Structure 1
Amino acid sequence: MRNEAKTTGGTASVLVDAVPSHTFRARPALWFAMIALSTAVCAAAIMIGTHKFHLGPAAIVLMPILWTVLIGGFLGVQRWKPIGGRARAVSTHLMDVSIVFFLAGLGTQIGPSLTKFTNIGPAILLQEVGHVVGTVILALPVAVALGLGRTAIGATWSIDRESYLAFAIQRFGVRSPEYRGVFAVWVLGSVFGAVFISLLAGLLGGLDFFDPRALALGLGLGSASMMLGGVGALSILYPEMAGEIMALAALSNLVTNIVGFYAGVFIALPMCQKLYTMWSRIFGRDDLGRRVRGGALLGSAAGSKPAHARSGAAAVEADEPAVTDTVDVNGIEADPSVLRSPKTWLTAFAATGVAGILLNTLGTGSMRPQDVVGVTILLVLTAIALVLAKLVPAVPSSIWVLALATIASATFLPIGPFIASTTQNINVLFAGLPMIALIGMSLGRDVKALRSLSWKIIIVALMTFTASFVAAAVIAQVAFHF
């Protein structure tokens, strides 16, 4: 059945999507269930807390974001009371708001630090070139040769941290092979990234070939946990330089978070897509990673017919009419779409704001009246970005919101200090945690495709991390000594 949505004037009407087939109107009980469940998962993860273990010079850091992935992922794949297509459709709607909200919070953390660029030398700026070269030039051909297909693009255009994951959902959609590559590398980085980089940094630091400062700059990968893991290893090897190593790594990580995202979106991704076509022809692979004669791309991912799978509603939504699911050639279930209206958008915004305040209070152990104002500002920036993305489809909301939030919180603007002060106590990794929970709870749709990647994605992920770190360190080494 096809439902028709009536749009009204104002901002909300701009956000109402055209109604596709297989669209349904979600009941309030389903909205409440998904909002409550995702918030509860985040609260449990925060209460478990952060735990750090030392393995020689390496350190394993287990943070709330990891517990959220594990708990949400378990709920997403378990079969006792599965989360079905309709529940995942509601999660996707909530995710569309929570992702942009998360990036808004990230932008307000970056804006107040923009003035630090006045003292940044060429070495710290050039290391960003190393990240692009390392991932796209070195890791991409390995991924294509292993037969990852278009998943290779998502797995190698960056080291795929939270901002890139959010962009991939906006740019490619959760059913795309590019998103699965980003998601798989993100999960592996969240679980093993810190310990792997700490071991690698310790190994390279012990060779006495690299300047410790170059290695410190190479640690600006855009991941706080990876940076801290590498800093811990280098600080043990060079205790007299521990303070300088930490300062350089943190500043480099700041540059990557500010410049790196834009470099990844506007330089690395287009480059990766073009080189993917070249490497696919050289290795004779199609978009699914299968070998083809003559090295010609078949485009089979787009041309194949979907295979029908089982139908019926999930246990979470047993009272809803059954909706037939389909599974495409990549193993991704085609969920129905929830009817989007001004009311559903307001529900998603309200849920994101309330959950953000509650989780930030739980995680930081404090709540100020300014925090409510700060969350409200982030929601306003989120709404503006979503509207702009509708008006200018070529630029996704993830780009709009990060740019708007960064500029709005810059201290050299009249409103910058006010926005910075109201958002400074908002820890985006707590307030934006529901995005991670919702992604994990939707994992049931992607589990078949992720299993098909098997050991190959592990090799590619480690190659991506290694190439990005080493290439950036080499460029920094050259900049320091020549």
Structure 2
Amino acid sequence: MDHSAGTTAATEQPITRANWITAIVLSAAISVVAVLIGEYKFQVGPAAIALFPIIWAVLIGAIIGVQRWRPVSGATRSVATVMLEISILLFLAKLGTEIGPSLAKFQNLGPAILLQEVGHIFGTVILALPVAVALGLGRAAIGATWSIDRESYLAFAIERFGVRSPEYRGVFSVWLIGSVFGALYVSLLSGFMGSLGIFHPLALALGLGLGSGSMMLGGVGALSLIYPEQAAEIAALAALSNLVTNIVGFYSGVFLALPLCRRLYAFWSRVFGRDDEGNWRRAAAKPKKQKKQQVLEVVQDPEVKLTPGLTLLSYVVVGAGGLLASAIGTRSFEIKDAVGIVVLLVLTWVCVRLGKLVPMVPASVFVLGIGTLLSANFLPTGPLVADLMENMKVMLIGLPGLALIGLTLGRDIQALRQLSWKVVLVALLTYSSSFLAAAALGQTVLHL
């Protein structure tokens, strides 16, 4: 997807072997340190805050990504981005292999999984939109609250509204905040809500089908720490829910949520007396010089020209990093674990190719769907795949990817500084309301 209209070009830097070594070493080191720090849980009144390797990886990566002593170069960030995309898909591939063996448990959840999209729309449009309008975001409130604004929505907003429109600024802001802080925020929110006991853990797992692999990873990690005896079911149900969101979520967002959001925006604008710039209507009689709308921008890092050799290296490094984190975290390693990682990497590569051949279907949908089928008990491959994967911990395999998210933060820091506290608050409310509304609907439909 081309985001060039919302980017500023960085100084051209050649991508050297040193950049690859730096990204690889930092990713591995951060993952190992995060695993060694371990898991902690402490009470805050009736609730608990869960801190675990995923959070440490994001935080440590972010600190390194923005520090000025030895800044992470744009070329190194470009390498990290390449490995990040593979790492998230590898995590989803492993998660897919955990859905297959659990399909029988979820055979009665069809209506609940499909209706979660109603929960996402209700949460963002019904709950977050009026707050955004009341805060004075103007038409940017539409872009900030019609969905949680992942990559497909960003591309749609560029084509539908243009990069200088208020709607696009809203979409871009929520996308940016989610890309940088989404996994961390959802993990803290999930752990907090899970410890309160208001929702059944499986209802919360349904709510994690937000359409973002990294956010789901953070949420599943927190819930698995709170409910270790149900960790496998939580991971499988969240992945299944996320798969459905990836398939139908974009279309429900475009054809249902957006029209509804625009109509309700007009209603709430009248209620709160705000105009399209977010100003009070009663003050509109006074002539005022209009402010020039600023386009939020991120730095455009150098492009990595992937040769077959560098592509192979990227997959090998990502697989080795996930295997290393899993081995240290579980304190075990078997040869079949290495074979399992190779299977996941091949599946990831195939799905990346399929995503390019069929661009209207994201690679994440292919990798989750095919991983689920290969591990399903009704296929001959099911028992073999389950055996290869049984020792590896899915949360740890995804760890290097979240470390890489933090390392790339320096690219986005300029745009983050341009965001007002209002849009940050609305973004967090959008994620929260989408997650909690879907979880509440899931709890109601499942009678948990």
TM over 0.5: yes
CA deviations on 1:300-355 (whole Å, 9 max, x unpaired) are xxxx99xxxxxxxxxxxxxxxxxxxxxx9313112221222212211111111211
Residues 220 and 254 of structure 1 are in contact (CA less than 8 Å); yes or no, is this contact kept in structure 2?
A: no
Residues 61 and 403 of structure 2 are in contact (CA less than 8 Å); yes or no, is this contact kept in structure 1?
A: yes
Look up the equivalent residue of 1:425 and give its one-letter code.
Answer: N
Q: CA deviation at 1:358?
A: 1.2
- Name the SS for the 2:49 alignment partner: strand
- Name the SS for the 1:116 alignment partner: helix
Look up the equivalent residue of 2:400 and give its one-letter code.
Answer: P
CA deviations on 1:251-291 (whole Å, 9 max, x unpaired) are 5774343034323552354344454555666659xxxx955
- 2:167: which partner in 1? none
Q: Are residue 358 (structure 1) and residue 319 (structure 2) matched?
A: no
Alignment of 1:173-322 (within 5 A): 176-177=172-173, 179-183=175-179, 186-187=182-183, 189-190=185-186, 192-194=188-190, 196-198=192-194, 201=196, 205=198, 217=203, 220-222=206-208, 223-225=219-221, 227=223, 254-263=236-245, 265-267=247-249, 268-270=252-254, 271-275=256-260, 278=263, 283=269, 291=278
- Name the SS for the 1:446 alignment partner: helix
Matches of 1:170 and 1:184 in 2, distance apart? 18
Matches of 1:169 and 1:360 in 2, distance apart? 33
- Name the SS for the 2:107 alignment partner: helix
TM-score, scaled to structure 1: 0.70
Matches of 1:361 and 1:415 in 2, distance apart? 24
Matches of 1:168 and 1:348 in 2, distance apart? 27
- 1:312: which partner in 2? none
Look up the equivalent residue of 1:134 and give its one-letter code.
Answer: G
Q: In structure 2, do the counterparts of structure 1 residues 372 and 404 end up closer, same or farther at CA, with 3 Å as the change threshold? A: same
Matches of 2:405 and 2:155 in 1, distance apart? 13
Matches of 1:151 and 1:445 in 2, distance apart? 25
- 2:22: which partner in 1? 33
Look up the equivalent residue of 1:94 and give its one-letter code.
Answer: M
Q: In structure 2, do the counterparts of structure 1 residues 34 and 420 end up closer, same or farther at CA, with 3 Å as the change threshold? A: same
- 2:424: which partner in 1? 457
Q: 1:87 aligns with which of 57, 66, 76?
A: 76
Look up the equivalent residue of 1:443 and give its one-letter code.
Answer: L
Q: CA deviation at 1:392?
A: 1.3
Matches of 2:155 and 2:57 in 1, distance apart? 21
Look up the equivalent residue of 2:413 and give its one-letter code.
Answer: V
- Name the SS for the 1:59 alignment partner: strand
CA deviations on 1:154-200 (whole Å, 9 max, x unpaired) are 77635x9xxx79x8899999x9545314225614524631454257x
Matches of 1:21 and 1:72 in 2, distance apart? 21
* Unmatched runs of 5 consecutive residues or more in structure 2: 1-8, 159-170, 209-218, 271-275, 282-291
Matches of 1:168 and 1:427 in 2, distance apart? 31
Q: CA deviation at 1:449?
A: 2.3
- 2:6: which partner in 1? none
Q: 1:114 aligns with which of 103, 109, 131?
A: 103
Matches of 1:431 and 1:148 in 2, distance apart? 42
Look up the equivalent residue of 1:182 and give its one-letter code.
Answer: G
Matches of 2:441 and 2:322 in 1, distance apart? 40
Q: Are residue 420 (structure 1) and residue 416 (structure 2) matched?
A: no
Matches of 1:443 and 1:67 in 2, distance apart? 15
- 1:75: which partner in 2? 64
Look up the equivalent residue of 1:367 and give its one-letter code.
Answer: F
Look up the equivalent residue of 2:432 and give its one-letter code.
Answer: F
- Name the SS for the 2:207 alignment partner: coil
Q: 1:376 aligns with which of 336, 339, 342?
A: 342
CA deviations on 1:411-452 (whole Å, 9 max, x unpaired) are 111111111211122212212211111110110111232241
- 1:157: which partner in 2? 147
Q: CA deviation at 1:360?
A: 1.1
Look up the equivalent residue of 1:423 and give its one-letter code.
Answer: M
Q: Are residue 433 (structure 1) and residue 399 (structure 2) matched?
A: yes
Residues 134 and 469 of structure 1 are in contact (CA less than 8 Å); yes or no, is this contact kept in structure 2?
A: yes
- 1:64: which partner in 2? 53
Counting matched residue pairs gives: 397
Look up the equivalent residue of 1:30 and give its one-letter code.
Answer: N
Q: CA deviation at 1:142?
A: 3.5
Q: CA deviation at 1:477?
A: 3.7
CA deviations on 1:366-423 (whole Å, 9 max, x unpaired) are 0011101110011001110111111111112111111111111111111111112111
- 1:98: which partner in 2? 87
Q: Are residue 53 (structure 1) and residue 39 (structure 2) matched?
A: no
Look up the equivalent residue of 1:442 and give its one-letter code.
Answer: T
Q: CA deviation at 1:74?
A: 0.3
- Name the SS for the 2:332 alignment partner: coil
Residues 221 and 253 of structure 1 are in contact (CA less than 8 Å); yes or no, is this contact kept in structure 2?
A: no
Residues 146 and 261 of structure 2 are in contact (CA less than 8 Å); yes or no, is this contact kept in structure 1?
A: no
- Name the SS for the 1:30 alignment partner: helix
Look up the equivalent residue of 2:88 and give its one-letter code.
Answer: I
Alignment of 1:459-474 (within 5 A): 459-462=426-429, 464-466=431-433, 468-470=435-437, 472-473=439-440
Matches of 1:371 and 1:229 in 2, distance apart? 23
Q: CA deviation at 1:105?
A: 1.2
Alignment of 1:366-405 (within 5 A): 366-405=332-371
Matches of 1:478 and 1:119 in 2, distance apart? 11
Residues 408 and 416 of structure 1 are in contact (CA less than 8 Å); yes or no, is this contact kept in structure 2?
A: yes
Residues 23 and 338 of structure 1 are in contact (CA less than 8 Å); yes or no, is this contact kept in structure 2?
A: no
* Unmatched runs of 5 consecutive residues or more in structure 1: 1-19, 206-211, 233-245, 295-303, 306-327
Residues 364 and 427 of structure 1 are in contact (CA less than 8 Å); yes or no, is this contact kept in structure 2?
A: yes
- 1:348: which partner in 2? 314
Look up the equivalent residue of 1:338 and give its one-letter code.
Answer: V
Q: In structure 2, do the counterparts of structure 1 residues 184 and 455 end up closer, same or farther at CA, with 3 Å as the change threshold? A: farther
Q: In structure 2, do the counterparts of structure 1 residues 25 and 361 end up closer, same or farther at CA, with 3 Å as the change threshold? A: same
Q: CA deviation at 1:138?
A: 2.6
- Name the SS for the 1:425 alignment partner: coil
TM-score, scaled to structure 2: 0.74
Aligned-residue identity in percent? 36
